[in-house]
Amino acid sequence: MVLMARLRIAAVLAFGAARSGCGGDKAEDVHSVWRAGDGAPIVSTVFYVTDREPDKAWPGGFAKHWGDSPSCGATEATIPSLNLPNQAIPTGKIELVSPLQCGSGMVGIASAISLAAKAKGCNEAFLYIHGFNTLFNGAVLRAAQMVDDTKSGCIAATFDWTSEGEIGRYIPDIEHSGYAAPLLAEFLRALAAQNLRIDVLGHSMGNRLLLQSLSALAKRTDPPRDDFIDQMILTAADVGADPVNNDFAHLLADAHPFVHRTTVYASRDDAVLAISDVAHGNVPRAGHRPIGDAKLQTPNGSDHIVDVVDASDAPAELLGHSYFAMSYEAVSDTALVLRDRQIAARSDTL
């Protein structure tokens, strides 16, 4: 009976994904939540670190196979404006600008990001870490969209781990996200050494990778400096949060010293995380728990803050998993978070 129930749930998830075109960052679904007066797209540069296998036949030059070594570079991302009613949604596109040397310990790409920030007269970078069911071009486009739509980041970057970009490949995606954790830890450490203001947004399974990497850094004898991340935003976190054995709370506590403010967006209407609950033996996901659940939070310090936002009412696609980037309400709230606006001052945003 349990197996049949799980099969039925998986079938519903697959049907919903087919109908909604989502459940991950698919390039064809990435567009601005705003519309310029002339409807013109936004073009911006996005730096990347990926552990995918290079393949010129794929968009952006990277396939869905794990490469077991990093590639770094910069792309030019074109993000379409919000479409008008009854108007087809145009697809964003990316073009490779130039490959860059990752450098020992990711110092090369971190230095390139820092130099680009200084050339623009700023000292900050926004890093996006995608979830499952995402290919390279989707990761790049979503990073560009979030920076452009929030008008908060100076330099956009993405850490692209090897998701296979298929709704039915959830378990392989879990494995690949785990392989990427040491590389992300190196990248974060290199960014911290550049003395940039760093904001990080993780989505879904990407939060598992982000928190695992920060936890590993916390256990080093030479950890990065405190507060090297200004805003850490965890959206739809696919991380176990069982009250009896709360992995999420442990990982948050490890990451705590490195982060000025952590904002957790959770939605009880997230169908993808409902499926993940079942797939993980009915262990609740952190991004599926409502606001006000004290077991979800870690204590607030004077300069280390954890806010939990109930995003259940935020408009989203059919599966309710990508509200963080697909609704102007969620994007508007994220823009205020990136400006370090306290949660009490943005309570009516969502």
Instruction: Give the model confidence (pLDDT) of 152-174 as tens digits.
Output: 868 999 999 999 999 889 899 99
Q: Is the per-residue pLDDT at 11 higher than 50? A: no
Predicted local confidence at residue 3, as pLDDT: 44
Buried-state track 273-292, b at ≥16 Cβ within 10 A, e below 16: bbbbbebeeebbbbbbbebe
Buried-state track 126-152, b at ≥16 Cβ within 10 A, e below 16: bbbbbbbbbbbbbbbbbbbbbbbbbeb
Q: What is the mean pLDDT of residues 36-42?
A: 86
d(CA 12, CA 8): 6
pLDDT, tens only, 120-163: 999 899 999 999 999 999 999 999 999 999 998 689 999 999 99
Q: What is the mean pLDDT of residues 31-44?
A: 89
**Order of strands across the sheet that contains 305-310:** 93-100, 62-79, 42-54, 155-160, 124-129, 197-203, 229-235, 259-266, 305-310
pLDDT, tens only, 221-254: 999 999 999 999 999 999 998 888 889 989 999 9
Predicted local confidence at residue 22, as pLDDT: 53
- Greater confidence (339 vs 301) lies with 339
Per-residue confidence band for 12, with pLDDT thresholds at 50, 70 and 90: very low
Q: Is the per-residue pLDDT at 1 higher than 80? A: no
Predicted local confidence at residue 38, as pLDDT: 83
Predicted local confidence at residue 101, as pLDDT: 96
Q: What is the mean pLDDT of residues 33-42?
A: 87
Least confident of 91-100, 210-219, 281-290, 321-330: 281-290
pLDDT, tens only, 46-68: 999 999 999 999 988 999 999 99
For residue 235, list its beta bridge partners. 203, 265
Least confident of 81-85, 107-111, 332-336: 81-85
> Average per-residue pLDDT in the chain?
87
Contact 54, 62 (CB under 8 A): yes
Q: Name the one residue in this structure whose structure tokens are 């709370």.
A: 249
d(CA 19, CA 170): 18
Share of the chain above pLDDT 90, in %: 62
Q: Is the per-residue pLDDT at 15 higher than 50? A: no
Q: What is the mean pLDDT of residues 211-216?
A: 97
Contact 60, 106 (CB under 8 A): no
| pTM of this structure | 0.91
Q: What is the mean pLDDT of residues 96-103?
A: 92
**How many angstroms separate the Cα of 248 from the Cα of each of 148, 156, 238, 258?**
30, 27, 9, 16
Q: What is the mean pLDDT of residues 28-38?
A: 86
Predicted local confidence at residue 348, as pLDDT: 60
Predicted local confidence at residue 225, as pLDDT: 93
Share of the chain above pLDDT 70, in %: 88
**How many angstroms separate the Cα of 267 from the Cα of each of 9, 155, 204, 205, 324?**
18, 29, 12, 15, 10
Q: Is the per-residue pLDDT at 298 higher than 50? A: no
Contact 316, 16 (CB under 8 A): no
Predicted local confidence at residue 316, as pLDDT: 78
